[in-house]
Amino acid sequence: MNKPAGAPQPIFRRCLIALVALTLAFSLGADGETGNAATQTAQAIQSNIDLLQFVTQVRLSPEERGQVRQEVTSSMSSAPQNVIRRDGLIATTLTNAARNPKDAPRLRELWRYDIAARVPHSDIEYILSEKYDPVVIFDEPHQRIITGATLIALRDCTVWFAQKLHKPAPDGSFIAGERAWLKSSYGHLTDDVQDAYAHVGRNCPHTMDFFSGVVAAQRDRFFSENAKAVGNSAIAATDAALISRIVYNNLLHRGGGAAAMNGRVFDYMVQQSLLQQQLQRTVIRNPSLPPPD
């Protein structure tokens, strides 16, 4: 006999309906979480590939991308929150680097140090970073790092200053010579010289920008005076590194950028001989230390 509409259903049937509904909800929720995890993993894989390419300035091969994919997938299984948190930091870094290209070397330097500081040195980020941008000096007490990319930046900075001072530019042996010299001499250098070398990639773009914003007559006067200070010698890498450090530390951190670096500030720098002091070579390279090859 049919029950009237709205009549109570048997208890077992109500329980069955509730069970089906609960199972369906759980299934949908599980699928949603699975899909979300898959999306996060894919995003983290791409972020780590992008970071490595940003740090090394090299496009990874398909095989290397596969190695990154495997490692990130494994990390998502064991410590997903760490991967997700790091993915956010990577996104912020790459966004800021794209918005402000002059700040990209500083961000690249920070990540390169972070990767080099890992122990043990077995993860794929360390291996690929070392492959394409090998460490020359790892100064853990001062959290400084000098790599192959640092030496390239040092060469470019030295070439730029040599052109401005009308001095001979570094030759093809520059990078190998500086690498050998730093490996044998870094520990004997003063703190300011060590710091200048480690951060030349960060400092030099800002220094070039500073000089481009200076009135031409003042800029020419400065380089003319310093050319006399150097004499007939070629511009040394240490000169370029130290000048860049002084400009970065004494102007950008206190003056707010190239637009604020007007003639009055520039004249003050010249009067105080902040730059000329570094060109006198009395404290540049210790005579007892071996010169670059």
Reported as a single tens digit per residue, the pLDDT across 103-119 is 999 999 999 999 999 87
pLDDT class of 223 with cuts at 50, 70, 90: confident
Looking at the structure, tell me whether residues 116 and 202 fall in a common domain.
no
Of the listed ranges 15-19, 73-77, 151-155, 273-277, the least confidently predicted one is 15-19
Looking at the structure, tell me whether residues 208 and 157 fall in a common domain.
yes
Contact 45, 72 (CB under 8 A): yes
Looking at the structure, tell me whether residues 141 and 268 fall in a common domain.
yes
Domain assignment present for residue 28? The answer is no
170 backbone dihedrals φ, ψ, rounded to 5°: -60, 150
| Mean pLDDT for the stretch of residues 252-277 | 50
More confident residue, 259 or 229: 229
Looking at the structure, tell me whether residues 87 and 166 fall in a common domain.
no
Contact 55, 113 (CB under 8 A): no
Last residue of a domain, which of 133, 153, 171?
A: 133
Range of the domain at 228: 137-279
Looking at the structure, tell me whether residues 113 and 148 fall in a common domain.
no
Looking at the structure, tell me whether residues 106 and 186 fall in a common domain.
no
Looking at the structure, tell me whether residues 273 and 149 fall in a common domain.
yes
Q: Is the pLDDT of residue 142 over 90?
A: yes
Q: How many domains is the chain partitioned into structurally?
A: 2
More confident residue, 31 or 184: 184
Q: Is the pLDDT of residue 50 over 60?
A: yes
Looking at the structure, tell me whether residues 156 and 231 fall in a common domain.
yes
CA-to-CA separations, 240 to 70, 73, 205, 247, 281, in angstroms, rounded: 43, 44, 12, 11, 12
